[in-house]
Structures are given as structure tokens and as C-alpha cells.
Structure 1
Amino acid sequence: MSQTQPTTPFGRRPLSLAMMAAQAAAKACPEEAASHKWRTFRNLTEAKAQLGIGDRALAVLSALLTFHPDTALTPGRDLVVFPSNRELSVRAHGPSPTTLRRALTQLVEAGLVIRRDSPNGKRYARRGEGGEIDQAFGFDLSPLVARAAEFEALAAEVRAAAKARALLREEISLLRRDIAKTVAFACEAGLPGAWDALAARLQDTGAMPPRSTGNAVLAEIAAGLRDLRAAVDKCLAESVESPETDASESQTGCHHQSSKPESLQNLEQGRRGEREEVAVPELDTVVPATRALPLRLVLEACPDIAAYARHGIGNWRDFLGAAVVARGCLGIAPPVWNTAVDAMGEEQAAVVVAAILQRGPAIVAPGAYLRDLAGKARAGQFSTWPMVMALWRAKAGSELGRASTAGQATGSAPHPRFTPARGHS
């Protein structure tokens, strides 16, 4: 005897387009389709706003899923569950009868379950001679299988929107912090520029937007802060601009340096374009403190400073701007920096900051270290040459070691990227 599967609700409940759409989707579901019921429920939970269902309806749906013994849902008549209202209320954490009926109606209207009402509206199952269920009247979970891919796509969209919102809020927070601290540092250090106007623009942006702010508003706020950040960086670069000089007036006298004299003399000879032979002592050499360091040599010895330049380092102006940013990150106070600039000149002080940054954890107190070097420079007992050359040799030695290993396999001779025998500026 064939079994009739009901498609309309019992009593005064009318048939709606949502019910018909859910039944059509269930009929069109392939027989080989399957879905993990709790994974599908998780997707429904994330996409509840798009589906128009509330928390109480989700609690009731979770209770309905517990009445199905299998974790994997597959199309068929065994997807009909038939709990009583009392048992369903217990598993749904005890809602009132009115709330339970309202939640069930919401699930049916959302097309998540289908009513399979009996002739008298009761929920039950008719069993055969072997105890197997021949026909059940209750709630059909077939839409959860038929629309599993749709629910997964909706949940993915919600997750993507949440990630975009988090990234925008993160960017806004970082931009506000960077702008505020840069402006505060510039005002404290007395750097020239329209810092008061930039601070007023930051104040006009308001406080951090609330968490309920939409992505469109967050994107607009982030765009405005990006423009303000660009203006702050431009003002900072212009404020640290200064004419390039060969030496600072405050640096006088000589500094005795024990190093390879041929390299230092050849480097200076190439920089000034001199062709004549230079007599060099065999052991020690005297390097004037006023002798300028080539920028390329400094960058070869201290490559980490390049990470603090917004658009790379192509001249001393870019280098000074990067050193100002690195100084703040190292925790060197403005008074200490000003003392170092007065003692050794702005370029040499920036070179020292780059060297401190390159040495990393080896310098425990960068501010105290710079203050000590400033005192030695004021007494004519310090030059940046030995410091830079020591870092350059350490870096060149490590590169030569790696190149030697590679050269044994390729037959090529290792060589450093920078040759002190040539001139660079």
C-alpha cells in the first residue's frame, strides 16, 4: 500500500509560498546529497541575520536535530522527527508554549523545516511488523540537506564581512595611534611644520567608531585617516630636511682607529676622485672625525634602517627621516637626541641610531648608549667610522661565508656587495 506524504499544514494554518518553495527544494535534492547536521547548524547560526531567524528559533532547531539519531543527514522519509511539545520544550531549554509555537512557525516560514502534519495534527510514527517506521508525521529536516550549500555560502559571506570589519577597525586603530604619537613627538621635539593643524584634523575625526559601525562607514573613516597619515609623513620628512654637509662644525680633532688603512684611504680617495698615491702607515691610521661617511656604505653596514623609510632611502634626507622614526621606536628621548645632534651633527647622530638599531638586543639601553657616545664626541674621542666599518665587516664576512659555500658548488669566487676600494656617496 503506497504512503501519502502530506504537503499542507493541519487546521487553520494556511499554505505559504515559503512552504511550497521548501517542498520543491526537498524534492529536487539529489539522492546522493548529504550534510553534517551540526556543521549545517553552525552555518545557520552564523547566517541567522540573512535568513531572518532568531536565537530562540535556533534553539528549537537544535532540539529538533537531537531527535534524529544520525549525524549525517541524507534525503529520505527517515528525516521526519516527531517529538511531543513537552519533550521538545525540555530539549530547547524550557521555552513557554507560545514561544515554542512561534519559533516553530519561524522555522517553517524560513524554509528550514517542513510540516508533515497527520490527519488530526498529532505527531507520531506508524511502524510496520518488523518495528521499522513506515510513515512519520512531524517535522521534515530535508531542507537542511537540500540547502546545505546555500547555508555554507551565506556563512562564508558573513565571516568575510566580519573579517573585513575587523581589519578595518585594526587599520583605523593603528592609523590613529601612529598619527597621534608622531604629532605628539613632533610638537615635543619642536620640529617645524603645521603640526597644530594636523592635530586638529585628527581631533575632527572623532573617537574610535563603535563596534556596531558598518563596513562602509569604517572604510570611509580609514580612507580619511590614510590621507591624514600621508600628510603627517610628508610634514615629518620636510621637517627633518637639512642641507648636506661634509662634517659637523662641532666635530674637531682626530680619532685614532685601528683597522685596515688601505681600505679607508682608498675609499676616501675614490670618493673625492683623487688619483695620486697615498702613503699609509703599516699598523694604525689617523682618520679625521670630520671625514664624511658614504651613504651607501652606511646602508650596507646597517640595512635594517631601510624598514623605517616609507619610500626607501635614496639620499641623506630619506636616511634622516628613517632615523627619526627609528629613534622613537628605540625609545631614545628627544633631549638625548638633541644632545647627540649638538655633539656630532645630525647625519652622524642618525648613523649612530642606525648602528644601534642594527645591533639589536646587544644594546640594552639605546638612550644611555647614545648619550655616552655624544659625550665622547664632544670631547673629540668618537667617530662613526670604526662603528660602521665594524658592522660592515661583520655583514660582509657572513655574506662571504655563505657565498664561499655556494661558490664551491658553482666554481665562482665569492665577493662582497660593497668594495671599500671604490668611491660612493
Structure 2
Amino acid sequence: MLNALLSFYPETELSQEHGLVVFPSNAQLALRAHGMADTTLRRHLAALVDCGLIIRRDSPNGKRYACRGRGGDIHEAFGFSLAPLLARAEEFEQAAERVQAENRALRLARQRITLHRRDIHKLIEAARQEDISGPWDALWTRFRAIVTEIPRRAVLADLEPIAARLAALREEIDKLLESHVNAGNTGGSESQNGRQQSNSESESLNEYKFILGNELNEKPVLVQRSGNPSRACPSAYPLELVLRAFPEFADYATAGIKNWRDLMATAVQVRGYLGISPSAYDDASRVLGPENAAIAIACIAQRAQHIQSAGAYLRSLTQKARAGAFSMEPMIMAALKANGTAPRMTR
């Protein structure tokens, strides 16, 4: 009904200069409201008045009309005043921002739950197939009990505790798998421990390969190593280009992404949503550099539906970068091409 009333305003923006009173008849309003019944129309108009969105400006005889001069200008009009909309514009903008923030938080909570559900299911299934010792049946029972509590139509207050419980369960499973990987890392000498640690890293990567499938079969791209051997390459990509490649990543930021610090702060937040352990992200930051690690998180978040284990995928990229066989450029260019906005890269 409010849209129908606004359609009778002659300008595109409300302004005191052009007057704020519209004066359609009920018949005209009914047509603009897609044939609304007269009783329903009156009820909706009364509701708008009660909410303080419009004000009745009645004429002496109760009809709606405008008094015009010889030039056709309106001197006085009787009908419905839209002045409250103009006076409360800031209030409505703030309310709209709150609704958008709540919807964004709800969407992120649902996404966190979806990612945790997928990863927990895959990890327990993989552990069973590999005959890894652990209370997998009990963990599966707990997992299904949490999942059955997810309501079909939920508010943020319903989803946050469920997401937290799934995150705790995921962390427990990760610890069991890490303890299994590190079970053989015991020995007498320091050199033996070093060799076993190296072997365990390779074993850990191999253990996750069957989870990732073809995601690890990308053709490596050799890059020139910088002077610091612990970093594969410093960030050399404009932030604007990165945001164009991964536009959905900005939705995770609480106040937008205006600089590299915002991007890295958002990456730390999204890392938890994706189920990537702090150690995996810290390792990627040391090898790739904090900026490139944030770009990698943005890529993983955008391709989350195609990556079965975000943590293992990031570790794989880190291993390739440590060996000098990984570059961010193909990843960014592929994302730009997928978005239909692939420019020529200038380095």
C-alpha cells in the first residue's frame, strides 16, 4: 500500500519543495495496489497512519483533492501527507542497515554450520575407511544429534550455539587425527626426530589427498623466490584486483574492506568459519606472506562448495609454495575469468 501511495508522488525524491501530499481516490489506489478490495485498502491505510508513516490531511468535505492556480501549480492539497517518511528517513536507513546486518550474520551462521557439517561428515567417514582408531561411532552419534536440532526456520540466536557445538566437535576430530599423524613422531636422537617430523608432514599431506580429490592435481607454476626463503613471494597484486576476483569475500567483513589490514582481519575471521586450524593459517602466513595467505583464504571461501577440506587445501598450497612451485597469479586470474572480468596483469 505504501508503494501504491508513493507511485502518486510526481517526483523521484521526497522534498518539501514539491509538496508532500498525495491525493488519489480509493479507486485509483485500488488499481495501483493490484485490485485490492476496498475494505482491505481502508484497513491498510489505517495501519500506515497508526504506524506514523503517513498523516491524513483531510479537506473540509473529507475528500482528497488539490487546489491549483491558473498556471496549474498546486497551492494546497488534501489527502495523505508523506512528511513522516522524509522526517524519519535517517531512522529508516538505520533500521535497514540493522536488518541487513542481521541477515548477513544469519547467512554467515548458516554457512558455518554447512561447512562444519560437511567437513565432520567427510572426516569421520575417512577415518573409518582408513581404520584410524578412535571413538568414531560416538562422535557420529553426537554429530547427528546436533544436526537434528537445527530448525528449518531459525533466527541467529538459534544457530549460534549449534555452530559453536559443531566447531567444538570439529576441533575434537582434528585433534584425534593430528594425534594419529603424530603417533610415530617419537625417537631418541634430535636428528631422528627431525626426520620423523619431515615424514609426518608428508604423511599428513598424503592422508588428506584422498579427501581433496582433484583439487590437489593443479599444475604447479614455478615462481622466483624472494631473498627471504620463508616467503614464496610478497604480495604484488592491487587490493582492488583481489576484491574483483573474490567479490563475495567482502560480505564477511563487518565494516567493508578498505585496505590490506581489513582483508587480513577478515581472513582470520573466515578461517574459523572454514574450519582451518590456526596452525595451518600461521604456516601459510609465514610461507606465503600474510597478504597472500589472506588472498588464499578469500579464494577458498569463494570455492568452498568445490573444496572438501579447506584446511588440507591450504596446507597443500603452503607445501607447494615452500617448494617454490606455487604462484597466486593463476589463482587470481582464474577467479577473474570465472567472474567475466579478467584484465591483463601488470606486475
Is TM > 0.5 for Structure 1 vs Structure 2?
Answer: yes
SS in 1 for 2:169: helix
Residue 123 in structure 1 maps to residue 64 in structure 2: yes
Are 2:132 and 2:180, in contact at CA under 8 Å, matched by a contact in 1?
yes
Deviation at 1:76, TM superposition (A): 5.0
Are 1:114 and 1:139, in contact at CA under 8 Å, matched by a contact in 2?
yes
Residue 399 in structure 1 maps to residue 225 in structure 2: yes
SS in 2 for 1:126: strand
Are 1:77 and 1:135, in contact at CA under 8 Å, matched by a contact in 2?
no
Deviation at 1:127, TM superposition (A): 1.9
Distance 1:156 1:209, change over 3 A: same
Q: Following the alignment from structure 1 to structure 2, what is the Cα–Cα distance between the partners of residues 113 and 245? A: 76
Q: Following the alignment from structure 1 to structure 2, what is the Cα–Cα distance between the partners of residues 398 and 294? A: 27
Q: Following the alignment from structure 1 to structure 2, what is the Cα–Cα distance between the partners of residues 325 and 100? A: 62
Match of 1:239 in 2: 180
Residue 330 in structure 1 maps to residue 187 in structure 2: no
| Bigger helix fraction | 2
Residue 103 in structure 1 maps to residue 34 in structure 2: no
Match of 2:218 in 1: 361
Deviation at 1:294, TM superposition (A): 6.6
SS in 1 for 2:143: helix
Deviation at 1:161, TM superposition (A): 0.5
Q: Following the alignment from structure 2 to structure 1, what is the Cα–Cα distance between the partners of residues 110 and 78? A: 50
2:13 is aligned with what amino acid? Answer: A
Within the candidate set 103, 107, 130, 1:166 is matched to 107
Distance 1:400 1:76, change over 3 A: closer
Match of 2:203 in 1: 320
1:114 is aligned with what amino acid? Answer: I
Q: Following the alignment from structure 2 to structure 1, what is the Cα–Cα distance between the partners of residues 181 and 18? A: 78
Deviation at 1:243, TM superposition (A): 2.6
Structure number with larger C-alpha Rg: 1
Match of 2:78 in 1: 137
Are 1:242 and 1:317, in contact at CA under 8 Å, matched by a contact in 2?
no
Q: What whole-Å deviation, never above 9, does each CA across 1:345-395 have from its counterpart, x for those lacking one?
A: xxxxxxxxxxx95xx4349xxxxxxxxxxxxxxxxxxxxxxxxxxxxxx96
Deviation at 1:208, TM superposition (A): 7.4
Q: Following the alignment from structure 2 to structure 1, what is the Cα–Cα distance between the partners of residues 228 and 160? A: 46
SS in 2 for 1:152: helix
Match of 1:192 in 2: 133
Match of 1:206 in 2: 147
Distance 1:244 1:101, change over 3 A: closer
Q: Following the alignment from structure 1 to structure 2, what is the Cα–Cα distance between the partners of residues 206 and 399? A: 46
Deviation at 1:72, TM superposition (A): 1.5
Q: Following the alignment from structure 2 to structure 1, what is the Cα–Cα distance between the partners of residues 179 and 42? A: 70
2:224 is aligned with what amino acid? Answer: S
Within the candidate set 61, 66, 69, 2:10 is matched to 69
Q: Following the alignment from structure 2 to structure 1, what is the Cα–Cα distance between the partners of residues 54 and 175? A: 60
Q: Following the alignment from structure 1 to structure 2, what is the Cα–Cα distance between the partners of residues 183 and 79? A: 64
Q: Following the alignment from structure 1 to structure 2, what is the Cα–Cα distance between the partners of residues 125 and 99? A: 25
TM-score, normalisation: structure 2: 0.59
Match of 1:151 in 2: 92
Deviation at 1:131, TM superposition (A): 2.6
Match of 1:215 in 2: 156
Residue 225 in structure 1 maps to residue 82 in structure 2: no
Distance 1:65 1:173, change over 3 A: same
Deviation at 1:90, TM superposition (A): 0.6
Deviation at 1:240, TM superposition (A): 2.7
Mapping of 1:221-370 within 5 angstroms? 221-244=162-185, 316-317=199-200, 319-330=202-213, 357=216, 360-362=217-219
SS in 1 for 2:77: strand
Deviation at 1:178, TM superposition (A): 0.5
SS in 1 for 2:76: strand
Deviation at 1:126, TM superposition (A): 1.5
Deviation at 1:237, TM superposition (A): 1.4
Q: Following the alignment from structure 1 to structure 2, what is the Cα–Cα distance between the partners of residues 178 and 63? A: 49
Are 1:236 and 1:321, in contact at CA under 8 Å, matched by a contact in 2?
no
Match of 1:306 in 2: none
Q: What whole-Å deviation, never above 9, does each CA across 1:165-222 have from its counterpart, x for those lacking one?
A: 1110111011011011110111111111111111111121133734520101100000
1:398 is aligned with what amino acid? Answer: Q
SS in 2 for 1:135: strand
TM-score, normalisation: structure 1: 0.49
Aligned residue pairs, count: 230
Match of 1:377 in 2: none
SS in 1 for 2:19: helix
SS in 2 for 1:72: coil
1:158 is aligned with what amino acid? Answer: V
2:40 is aligned with what amino acid? Answer: T
Unaligned runs of 5+ in 1: 1-59, 247-270, 273-291, 297-313, 332-355, 364-393, 407-416, 419-425
Distance 1:183 1:119, change over 3 A: same
Deviation at 1:129, TM superposition (A): 3.3
SS in 1 for 2:208: helix
Q: What whole-Å deviation, never above 9, does each CA across 1:315-358 have from its counterpart, x for those lacking one?
A: 65455334312342136xxxxxxxxxxxxxxxxxxxxxxxx95x
Q: What whole-Å deviation, never above 9, does each CA across 1:45-82 have from its counterpart, x for those lacking one?
A: xxxxxxxxxxxxxxx21111111111011125721111
Q: Following the alignment from structure 2 to structure 1, what is the Cα–Cα distance between the partners of residues 226 and 2? A: 68
Distance 1:361 1:295, change over 3 A: farther
Deviation at 1:105, TM superposition (A): 0.4
Match of 2:124 in 1: 183
